[in-house]
Amino acid sequence: MKHFENIIIGFGKAGKTLAGSLTKNGQEVLLIEKDSAMYGGTCINVACLPSKNMIINAQRGTCYDEAIATKNRLVDKLRNKNYHKVADQENATVLRADVSFIDDYTIEVSDDSGQETVIGDKIFINTGSTPVLPNVQGLKNSQHVFTSKTLLDQTQQTKNIAILGDGPIGLEFAAMYAKFGSQVTVIGQNKMILNQLEPEIANAAKEDMMTDGVQFLLNSQLTKVTDMVNGIILDIDTPNGGKTLHVDALLVATGRRANTDDLHLERTNIKTGSHGEILVNDVLETNVTNIFAMGDVKGGPQFTYISLDDWRILNSQFFGDQTRTRANRPVFANTIFLNPAISSVGQTEAQLQKKEQPYKIFQMLTAGVPKAQVIGNPRGSYKVLVDEKTHQILGATIYAEEAYETINVISLAMQNNLPAEALRDQIYTHPTMTEALNDLFAEL
């Protein structure tokens, strides 16, 4: 039985970065990843970076074949770089193998060469999340049903695609495929898309997507999937009755859950939640001493930048001043990469009304920002909610070009308790989308 100081299960953002910290401090690390195509984690291989690369190329007018080739070159480059970033460290070993727990600190690893048992003083679980497939007749056995991961592997463009799910992932793919020229239908169970956002901005995004050719079947339920030689038939219950849709493929984007099924945690004392997520405290330790969980597998916000912050928490605990925890995680925003992107941070107007918290609204159309005209995409608007007395920012939603950059300025102001006047009076370079903040708060 081999013994290691540290065993990291999963080559995700938090795990690979932690491996670097541990080896830098002279500690021994075994990093185990079951899929060599996932070195570097979900983000660089099958999610954030490849999908955003495809979205950008679609918006540039690049043909699908060229976009796929570009995406594959990017992923191969990043995967190789990430592998060597860990594997080349003197104290690190990267092992491609399946993992299952035997007890709290003992795991069995198996690969083509056989099985082996290893034990770790500290074990870090970083296995991420996996797509949820709903229990719809015929869906799980269909040859024409894809997840976001498997759809990105398709070298030929799907010309007529349905997307089950009206959340961020489904809508990003819908906007992307529409830009590539595909016929796109979104099937959603909610009455409106993006119901966690400001409703007027969500509705504006829907209208713009419809202009781009996306069709919506909302407040609807997929009831049956039937494979055909030339595609797939979908039976859908809509508010106007039953509808049959014949498409080439179906993308299922109905959420993700913690990827723990194959770990056999039932053989351990590690506690999990109702969706399989591993329960952790504020410093990411499970109920079992020296066993930690990081990234999506622990539940909570499923963003790669949260996984990176999980590393910061552990790095602070092991090698820093031990002040950083989940409880004092900085303010962070969220972006949905549509055309243009929608970025949000903090609370919505509905949330403030429910709390009966006094606020002021500052709004403006994106068309009033010179850079939007320069880019040639004046769609969208800005909406920021400010405390009535202190003028501190309570929440913001930006539907505009480069919203994902501007929102970080607002997040920084919120984190440091700066009043909106600080953003109003700042001198920004020109022409930029961020200088919209001068005009947005002009009446403050």
As a whole number of angstroms, the distance between CA 116 and CA 83 comes to 22
What pairing do the DSSP bridges indicate for beta strands 256-258 and 2-9? unpaired
The three-class DSSP label of residue 129 is strand
Task: Please count the other Cβ atoms lying within 10 Å of the Cβ belonging to residue 421.
Answer: 12
As a whole number of angstroms, the distance between CA 433 and CA 372 comes to 7
The token pair at 307 is 């996984």
As a whole number of angstroms, the distance between CA 357 and CA 388 comes to 9
The token pair at 132 is 């949820």
**Phi, psi angle pair for 106, to nearest 5°:** -115, 130
Cβ(442)–Cβ(425) under 8 Å? no
Q: Is 246 a catalytic residue?
A: no
Please pick, among 3, 84, 246, 430, the residue that the annotation labels catalytic: 430
Residue 316 CB partners (closer than 8 Å, separation 6+) = 322, 323, 324
Ramachandran category for residue 160: left, alpha or beta (phi over 0 → left; psi -120 to 50 → alpha) = beta
Give which of 127, 147, 152, 133 is closest to 45, Cα–Cα: 152
Give DSSP secondary structure letters for 30-43.
EEEES-GGGTT-HH
As a whole number of angstroms, the distance between CA 336 and CA 404 comes to 9
Would the CA dihedral through 223, 227, 228, 232 be positive or negative?
positive
The token pair at 196 is 């966690």
Q: Among all residues, which ones are annotated catalytic?
A: 430
